[in-house]
């Protein structure tokens, strides 16, 4: 089993509160994290990869049809993890920044991982690290066709809010709670906090050249299903 390189990171949060508008009608009655992918819910792929990386204390936030997520996953014992939930209320998703802020009391005081519940990748979660003094470390990937302009510029393992060329944020990163100092409860995005921290020189990054998909549409879900089928065959 893979070993976590940074033993301080023992907690991860899976973001699962999105409405999944681009996945409709599939998400009208099923929350996007529970959509099946190669025989198991999309979010279970995340749980299994975190468990394999030795990270077994998990927090999952939810809003749209959130009770279904809790009923399906329970306390996580079947994957040898402990799952706790940060319920945001039906139709009251707090966006990424607000969702993480609300869940901070459930997370370790030290660094923690955050993973979007709707991405699929072969990123080695056991290798993610956060250097002393940094507020965040983000995994970056090549720009997909649906996001050609990218998000941030990566140079010498430092991320910059400005500059070219730009890469796309994978939705996988490590954070310190100090990134959210001064934030007020409510809905707000994560990106402005990251840009401020980048301008202060406190965000590192790494480039992942392998597989990564933002499973945000029925077509992309089908594409990943085909990839997994080919790999298993």
For residue 185, give its domain range.
Answer: 11-232
Phi then psi for 112, rounded to 5 degrees? Answer: -140, 155
Assess if residue 136 is contained within a domain.
yes
Predicted confidence (pLDDT) at residue 7 exceeds the cutoff of 70? no
Could you read off the pLDDT of 186-220 as tens digits, one per residue? 999 999 999 999 999 999 999 999 999 998 888 88
Q: Domain holding 138: CATH number?
A: 3.90.550.10
Could you read off the pLDDT of 142-180 as tens digits, one per residue? 999 999 999 999 999 999 999 999 999 999 999 999 999
Please give the C-alpha separations between residue 79 and each of 45, 62, 73, 88, 204, in angstroms, as whole numbers.
11, 20, 9, 24, 31
Residue 4, both tokens? 């976590």
Assess if residue 221 is contained within a domain.
yes
Closest among 207, 25, 30 to 121, alpha carbons compared: 207
- pLDDT band of residue 232 (cuts 50, 70, 90) is low
Assess if residue 180 is contained within a domain.
yes
Total domain count for the chain?
A: 1
Assess if residue 6 is contained within a domain.
no
Assess if residue 2 is contained within a domain.
no
Predicted confidence (pLDDT) at residue 72 exceeds the cutoff of 70? yes
Closest among 15, 45, 2 to 173, alpha carbons compared: 15
Assess if residue 222 is contained within a domain.
yes
Assess if residue 216 is contained within a domain.
yes
Assess if residue 47 is contained within a domain.
yes
């Amino acid at each position: 089993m893979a070993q976590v390189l940074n033993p301080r990171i023992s907690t991860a949060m899976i973001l699962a509160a999105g409405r999944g508008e681009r996945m409709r009608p599939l998400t009208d009655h099923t929350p996007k994290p529970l959509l099946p992918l190669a025989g198991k819910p999309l979010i279970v792929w995340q749980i299994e990869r975190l468990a394999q990386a030795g990270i077994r204390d998990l927090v999952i936030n939810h809003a749209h049809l959130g009770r279904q997520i809790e009923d399906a996953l329970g306390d996580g014992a079947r994957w040898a993890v402990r799952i706790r939930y940060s319920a945001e209320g039906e139709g009251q998703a707090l966006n990424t920044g607000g969702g993480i802020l609300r869940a901070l009391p459930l997370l370790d005081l030290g660094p923690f991982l955050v993973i979007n519940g709707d991405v699929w990748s072969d990123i080695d979660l056991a290798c993610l690290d956060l250097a002393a003094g940094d507020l965040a470390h983000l995994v970056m990937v090549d720009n997909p066709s649906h996001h050609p302009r990218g998000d941030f510029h990566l140079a010498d393992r430092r991320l910059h809010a400005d500059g070219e060329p730009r890469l796309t944020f994978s939705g996988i990163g490590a954070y310190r709670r100090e990134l959210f100092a001064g934030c007020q409860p409510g809905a707000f995005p994560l990106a402005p906090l990251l840009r401020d921290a980048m301008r202060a020189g406190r965000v590192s990054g790494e480039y992942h050249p392998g597989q990564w998909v933002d499973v945000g549409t029925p077509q992309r879900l089908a594409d990943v299903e085909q990839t997994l089928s080919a790999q298993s065959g």
